[in-house]
Structure 1
Amino acid sequence: TMTIANSIPSEENNEYCNQFHSKYEPKEILGRGLSSVVRRCVEKSSKTEFAVKVIDLNNLDTNSEDARQDALKELRILRLVQGHANIILLHDHFETEAYIFFVFEICPHGELFEHLNKVVRMSEKRTRGVMRQLLDALEFLHSRQIVHRDIKAENILLDAEMSVKLTDFGFATEVETDDCLTDLCGTPSYLSPEILVVNMYESRSIRVYGRPVDMWASGVLMYTLLVGSPPFWHRRQMTMLRMIMEGRFSLDTPEWEEVSEAAKSLIASLLRVDPGQRLTSVQALAHPFFAKQELPCVTFDRRTRFRSAILAVRCLCRLHRAYAMPARLELRRLRADPYTIRNMRRLIDNTAFLVYSHWVKKAEDQNRAALFENSPKMDLAAQDSG
């Protein structure tokens, strides 16, 4: 049996066992961070599974006391936000001189990031469900004057019912207004323009930021869910940051042909450079993208319904015969740009992830968007002439 004590210095083992090991049985490692390990554990009294995050205060570049205060701040935030269905549940916690333990509910389906790597992109229906739950969690946070500051696919977990659980409140902080934060934190491709302006320019019009940074990151996430790659990406980080500050992204490329105008409108409203014009969480939840479609009330007519059923069966038979025949592909169009053809586009994307998925890492210098940044090589004409 694997134990967390194996990775803890002997002088801390007795204290750790007294506080944690007496209540929980640690199991295998679920994940690692720069200064933390997440393991599955089982509560001895109830036999319920949980996930314990062990923060090593001695394995940090910063002062251990500062790290302890940061962990305790995260604990305070976690306590403030408990009670929402889409925010990770903190079940228990322990503290020693060198380690802090957070015991969370376990999410069997892991990170949304890993799920997205498997499916490449999500349907609009599934994206609607994820974004509604995320925005509802953000509305809960923002109403309590809390900014998360690190919304991204890696910080969203999926439970047994595939429901969203927002996690990792290490950068979260309390604010009195939306103009009181200045520090640089977060993930580069999810950073909002105002965070960059505040930290990169001395003579600047924007000097502070607040809750709208979470809404920007939500827009980046929604874009990524629908097409499989982020709106702002470049191998040169400074070029990418310039794209963010200018709000340069596209909703007109071939992969957006199948996305509704309501979805595009919501993304555009979340990715507005001016934080004052960006939608709030309440406004985003009221967007037509989330509107329920009311079905008209009709009376039941047996004759009309039977006739409709006959016509539907005939239509399905004809469609079956039509789809049984392979679609014609124009060689000229295939040579010019195969990515504009829907079936070819899906084949290229899925094959790319099957071949290169091992490249997709969680390091800062690697990004799943790297698989999409280069145009396909047009060598069909060369092969023909040869």
Structure 2
Amino acid sequence: MLCSMSFGRPLGISLSQFNRRTIRAALRPVSKKVPSSLNIMAKDDAADDLLPDKDAAKEFYAKYEPKEILGRGVSSTVRRCIEKESGREYAAKIIDLSTDAENVSMQESTIQEIRILRIVAGHPYIIELHDVFESNTFIFLVFELCKNGELFDHLTTVVTLSEKKTRYIMKQVFEAIEHVHKKSIVHRDIKPENILLDENLNVKLTDFGFARVLKEDEKLSELCGTPGYLAPEVLKINMFEDYNEGYGQEVDIWACGVVMYTLLVGCPPFWHRKQMVMLRNIMEGKYSLTTPEWEDITDAPKDLIRKLLVVDPKKRLTVSEALEHPFFQVMQWETNLSELKKTFKHSSSSMSETHYQSKKFEAKKLFRFGILCVRAVVRIRRLKYTPEPLSIAVAQVDPYRIKSLRKVIDACAFRVYGHWVKKGEGQNRAALFENFPKTEVKQLFLASPQPDS
């Protein structure tokens, strides 16, 4: 999916008591199947799929040439398309109003999303809505094309991201959300599936289907979003009748904490095979930063995650405070170091061109000495994070505790089973990280007599 795919509406559920069946139904992932009965459609032999009839979308076909399908939603399809006049590629989200019994509501939701996209337009890390067309049965949203797809799929390929890459991506995400929040808008569906990557691997925040423009001091109460990324206050207001505080933009900050946690270690913080346990973990803020995969991660990202995943929204960081966190200040050091290296390189080439031949001042030696000093400073700064030598004894008892072996294990698991990972909670990537033996089985194994070697 290379463009905003999901087009949901708030579930609008208000629970008077803790009802497991109801909450499960409310949070069940939306089906990705395309309805079989489609009206006013024409056959696309190349893609073996269906396209809107040209009579039903004259304006769109006059300006764009639709190509292959990039992804599907419940009532929408995303296709690559080419603008005839310029030859530029775009992603067209084609929303079919004829298949939805509540097509009036769908149309209103689409108009609301378009309005919000235009309010937040112009930011480098937010998807650009290029064009809009509307007919009686279809709405066409033409977006910029992000050729590297979703962050979700990228993470499935690489399993985890380094602190440096996580810092690079999360800084862009926070800057996009800061822009959204300054417009008095709450996104309500921040997750890797809704973060696209362009050809330069820059972030593009997308899918504003759940977004809302907030009035001054307004609080929301609808239950909407994706289960694993829901903030505690969203669940509480829909589960407990005595909780009536509502929620606001703080829910986006919580979701960013979940995304950042997932990028660093590959699995989300609250996932559990039993969804009710997962929801309870979210409401209690129950997660771990002490498992083996966290041992090689520095304190700065851990501290930021702790301050993002705070159950009380009033004590949670704001987006501006998150950007001021020391984790992102390291980025300034890396940028300055990069510029310093460029300056040294430029100075070296300039010196070689002038053929400076003074015996008292040797530019090349001074340059080399400068580089060695820079390297020494960098190594000293990173010394406390340098991993210990590989221990055979530890590897035999708990190989997953050793970073190099852990990367091999995770890479093999995702190489073999990566295709199994889906966007729904039923096939969550976290299941591939469940590598701890059950206590009972382990105790039986240890208690059983071992054969003589």
What's 2:416 paired with? 355
Cα separation, 2, equivalents of 1:131 and 1:275: 20
SS at the partner of 1:186? coil
The two structures have a TM-score, normalised by structure 1, of 0.87
Please report how far the alpha carbon of residue 15 of structure 1 lies from its aligned counterpart in structure 2 after TM superposition: 2.8
What does 1:234-383 correspond to in 2, within 5 Å?
A: 234-291=272-329, 292-293=332-333, 329-330=391-392, 332-375=393-436
Which residue of structure 1 aligns with residue 62 of structure 2?
Answer: 22
Deviation, structure 1 residue 384: 7.1
Look up the match of 2:95. 55
How far does residue 344 in structure 1 lie from its aligned partner after superposition? 1.6
Question: 1:328: Cα distance to partner?
Answer: 6.1
2:237 paired with 1:198 = yes
Contact 1:2 1:26 in 2 (8 A): no
SS at match of 1:113: helix
Q: Secondary structure at the match of 1:86?
A: coil
Return the match for 1:159 from 198, 205, 209: 198
Give the RMSD, CA atoms, in angstroms. Answer: 2.9
Normalising by structure 2, report the TM-score: 0.75
Q: What is the CA–CA distance in structure 2 between the aligned matches of 1:31 and 1:182, rounded to whole Å?
A: 31
Distance between the aligned counterparts of 1:116 and 1:329, measured in 2?
Answer: 29
CA distance 1:271–1:22, change in 2 (3 Å): same
The 8 Å contact of residues 134 and 166 in structure 1, kept in 2 or not, is answered as: yes
More displaced stretch, 172-181 vs 195-204? 172-181
Seen in structure 2, the aligned counterparts of structure 1 residues 171 and 22 have a Cα distance that, compared at 3 Å, is: same
Deviations 1:77-117 (A, max 9, x none): 11111110000001001111111110000001000000000
Aligned partners of 1:227 and 1:256 also within 8 Å:
yes
Find the residue that maps to 1:104 and give its secondary structure: strand
Does the CA contact (< 8 Å) of 1:151 and 1:217 recur in 2?
A: yes
CA contact (8 A) 2:390 2:402 kept: no
Change (3 A) 1:213 1:311: closer
Structure 1 residues 382 and 162: alpha-carbon distance in aligned structure 2, compared to 1, 3 A threshold? farther
What is aligned with 1:212? 250
Question: Is 1:138 aligned to residue 177 of structure 2?
Answer: yes
The Cα shift of 1:335 comes to 3.5
Quote the Cα distance in structure 2 between the aligned partners of 1:133 and 1:244: 25
How far apart in 2 are the matches of 1:383 and 1:304?
65
CA deviation string 1:145-183 (max 9, x = no partner) = 000000000001100111000000100010024542000
Amino acid at match of 1:100: I
Aligned pair count reads 365
Structure 2 counterpart of 1:82: 121
User: Which residue identity is paired with 1:272?
Assistant: V
For the structure 1 residues 54 and 382, does the alpha-carbon distance in structure 2 shift closer, same or farther, using more than 3 Å as the test? Answer: farther
> Alpha-carbon deviation of 1:305?
6.8
* Structure 1 alignment gaps of length 5 or more: 314-326
| Paired letter, 1:209 | Y
Cα offsets for 1:228-283 (capped at 9, x unmatched): 11111100000000000000111111111221211111111110000001111111
For structure 2, the 5+ residue unaligned runs are: 1-43, 348-360, 376-388
How much has 1:19 moved relative to structure 2?
1.2
Q: For 2:412 and 2:451, locate their aligned partners in 1 and report how far apart those are by CA, in whole Å.
A: 24
Higher mean C-alpha deviation, range 357-366 or range 118-127: 357-366
Q: Which amino acid aligns with 1:171?
A: F
CA contact (8 A) 1:112 1:157 kept: yes
Contact 1:91 1:103 in 2 (8 A): yes
The alpha-carbon deviation at position 337 of structure 1 amounts to: 1.4
Higher relative contact order (CA 8 A, sep 6+): 2
Report how far residue 202 of structure 1 moved. 1.1
Structure 2 letter corresponding to 1:183: E
Quick one: structure 1 residues 20 and 5, their matched pair in 2 at CA, closer, same or farther if it must change by over 3 Å? farther
Q: C-alpha deviations, 1:284-322, integer Å up to 9, x for none?
A: 111111112267x9x999677767989999xxxxxxxxx
**Structure 2 matches for 1:52-131, cutoff 5 A?**
52-60=92-100, 63-131=102-170
The residue type paired with residue 128 of structure 1 is R
What letter corresponds to residue 324 of structure 2 in structure 1?
Answer: A
Give the Cα separation in 2 of the matches to 1:22 and 1:260: 55
Write the distance in 2 (CA, Å) between the matches of 1:363 and 1:85: 29
